[in-house]
């Protein structure tokens, strides 16, 4: 078995991996920048090393990170999500230096990271994809010609894009002409590549993704699906498992297609296959070659520890279960609690956490790296907390979500929590039938007023007194 893991990440996912290591008797090594010196993952890991004065460079230097893994006696490296998690060079360097990369091979990362190559692989495997270009478009003229062939609206996408960046919807030739140089610029800055392609825009689809696990012994399974339709500007806000919108037949079909996709590329470790669902048709969108932010809700409904399985797979062990052993129970909802002000166009709200109270009770889980007194730095993603609730029924999950969001206190910064409470009260959302246009279709939900009850007021007074006293 693996004995020591370097975690090439920060924040809540690093804490999550530290906890998995602790349960498996594996030593954990954290890395951090000067800005992250007081982060919880640094405090929780068995060892921690400063890799940079700069907030970002240390997390983005694959050779430096792998060298540190070797120097500290680590036999494996977990990339988490974001940063270098889908960087083929990191996987290659790990292989060169004899460090096990907890993820797929560099070849698979490259193949799935190139969205046009991923499309070709899925077409060859018989997995349905959205209509689009065969490959990348060479220039604006070709993009306009292809868009006329495909039919508007179209999605202009960076070949190496991700996380909602390098993507624009174009409803006309004029919009495509305006968007083309912007996407090229954004893709070049964010991903180091100016390559783009076109897909037919599936209007107001449901965004459904399937979690897969694959070992080195030829076993590939799916852990059912997650519904990620509640999103803003292609950024997920609330995720649900299983989707309340699928029929049993659709659920089985999407799971089968996800397994087929993984088998087609020789996938190994944890991954997610993302689909769009519209008018009963399912279309492959992309494959994420890493653990997902929202892996938590799949764990809640299946009882399977995905990070633990990742580590076992990297150690060369077979999956600890077969497809027929996997079932789900109830519903789980994850809320990405971002340090943002929804009433001010979701402006980031970084700063010191003056008070943090985690919600609790049955069926409530929090994954976070914040604590009272921690200062959220302005250099990273604004997500400060993941709140996950589970219940036997959809209706109970909604009520538990409302209660848990009300229980939680994050003071000192503004968060998206009150906005999520309004979503949970919305009749359309509660019906379990919604699509990716939900947030844009309901701007009135941003006009909430934060209610004051005695507990809110008492905490506010206590915070003010403590601040005045310099505590």
For residue 452, what pLDDT is reported? 40
For residue 468, what pLDDT is reported? 53
Q: Which of 306, 302, 153, 285 is nearest to 229 (CA)?
A: 285
Helices 11-24 and 306-314: crossing angle in degrees, nearest 10, is 70
Catalytic residue (choose from 10, 290, 400, 409): 290
Q: How far apart are CA 207 and CA 229, in angstroms?
A: 5
| Tens digits of residue pLDDT in 14-39 | 999 999 999 999 999 999 999 999 99
| Tens digits of residue pLDDT in 360-378 | 999 999 999 999 999 999 9
| Tens digits of residue pLDDT in 408-466 | 999 999 999 999 999 999 999 999 999 999 999 999 999 874 444 444 445 545 545 55
User: Stretch 70-95: mean pLDDT, rounded?
Assistant: 97
Q: What is the rounded average pLDDT for all residues in the chain?
A: 93
For residue 465, what pLDDT is reported? 55
Task: Say if strands 76-78 and 47-52 run parallel, antiparallel, or are unpaired.
Answer: unpaired
Q: How far apart are CA 328 and CA 390, in angstroms?
A: 12
Q: Where are the domains of the chain?
A: 4-102, 131-200, 206-454
Residue 190 confidence class, pLDDT cut points 50, 70, 90: confident
Note the CATH number of domain 206-454: 3.30.470.20
Kindly report the length of the chain.
Answer: 471
User: Stretch 244-261: mean pLDDT, rounded?
Assistant: 97
- Sheet with strand 364-368: strands edge to edge: 281-288, 269-278, 206-214, 220-232, 235-241, 331-338, 383-391, 364-368
Joined tokens for residue 306: 């995905």
37-51, 266-280, 379-393, 448-462: least confidently modelled range: 448-462
Same fold, 131-200 and 206-454: no
**Catalytic residue status for 290:** yes
Domain 131-200 fold: Dna Ligase; domain 1 (3.30.1490)
For residue 453, what pLDDT is reported? 44
In order of 27, 297, 312, the CA distances from 305 in angstroms are 18, 11, 11
Residue 89 confidence class, pLDDT cut points 50, 70, 90: very high
pLDDT above 70 as % of the chain: 94
Residue 95 confidence class, pLDDT cut points 50, 70, 90: very high
4-102, which class in CATH?
Answer: alpha beta
Q: How far apart are CA 29 and CA 306, in angstroms?
A: 20
For residue 163, what pLDDT is reported? 64
CB 314 within 8 A of CB 269: yes
Residue 337 confidence class, pLDDT cut points 50, 70, 90: very high
Residue 166 confidence class, pLDDT cut points 50, 70, 90: confident
């Amino acid at each position: 078995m693996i004995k020591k893991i370097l975690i090439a990440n920060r924040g809540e996912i690093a804490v999550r991996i530290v906890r998995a290591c602790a349960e498996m008797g594996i030593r954990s090594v954290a890395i951090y920048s000067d800005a992250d010196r007081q982060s919880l993952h640094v405090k929780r890991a068995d060892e921690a090393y400063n890799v940079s004065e700069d907030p970002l460079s240390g997390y983005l230097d694959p050779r430096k990170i792998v060298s540190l893994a070797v120097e500290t006696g680590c036999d494996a490296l977990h990339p988490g999500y974001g940063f270098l998690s889908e960087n083929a060079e990191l996987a290659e360097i790990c292989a060169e230096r004899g460090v096990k990369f907890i993820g797929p091979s560099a070849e698979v990362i490259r193949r799935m990271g190139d969205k046009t190559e991923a499309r070709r692989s899925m077409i060859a495997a018989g997995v349905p994809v959205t209509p689009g270009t065969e490959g990348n478009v060479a220039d604006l003229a070709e993009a306009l010609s292809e868009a006329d062939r495909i039919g508007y609206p179209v999605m202009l996408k960076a070949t190496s894009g991700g996380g909602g960046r390098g993507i624009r919807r174009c409803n006309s030739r004029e919009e495509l002409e305006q968007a083309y140089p912007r996407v090229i610029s954004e893709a070049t800055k964010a991903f180091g590549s100016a390559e783009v392609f076109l897909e037919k825009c599936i209007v107001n689809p449901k965004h459904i993704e399937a979690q897969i696990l694959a070992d080195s012994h030829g076993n590939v399974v799916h852990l059912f699906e997650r519904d990620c339709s509640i999103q803003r500007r292609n950024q997920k806000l609330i995720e649900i498992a299983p989707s309340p919108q699928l029929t049993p037949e659709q659920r089985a079909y999407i799971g089968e297609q996800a397994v087929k996709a993984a088998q087609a590329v020789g996938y190994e470790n944890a991954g997610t296959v993302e689909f769009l669902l519209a008018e009963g048709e399912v279309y492959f969108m992309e494959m994420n070659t890493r653990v997902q932010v929202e892996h938590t809700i799949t764990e809640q409904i299946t009882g399977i520890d995905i990070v633990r399985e990742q580590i076992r797979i990297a150690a060369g062990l077979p999956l600890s279960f077969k497809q027929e052993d996997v079932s789900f129970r109830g519903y789980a909802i994850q809320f990405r609690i971002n340090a943002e002000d929804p009433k001010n166009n979701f402006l980031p709200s970084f700063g010191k956490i003056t008070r943090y109270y985690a919600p609790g009770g049955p069926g409530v889980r929090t994954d976070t790296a914040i604590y009272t007194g921690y200062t959220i730095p302005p250099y990273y993603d604004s997500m400060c907390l993941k709140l996950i609730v589970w219940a036997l029924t959809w209706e109970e999950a909604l009520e538990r979500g409302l209660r848990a969001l009300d229980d939680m206190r994050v003071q000192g910064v503004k968060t998206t929590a009150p906005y999520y409470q309004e979503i949970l009260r919305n009749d359309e959302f509660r019906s379990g039938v919604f699509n990716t246009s939900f947030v844009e279709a309901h701007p009135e939900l941003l006009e909430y007023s934060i209610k004051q009850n005695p507990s809110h007021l008492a905490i506010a007074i206590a915070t003010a007194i403590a601040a005045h006293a310099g505590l």
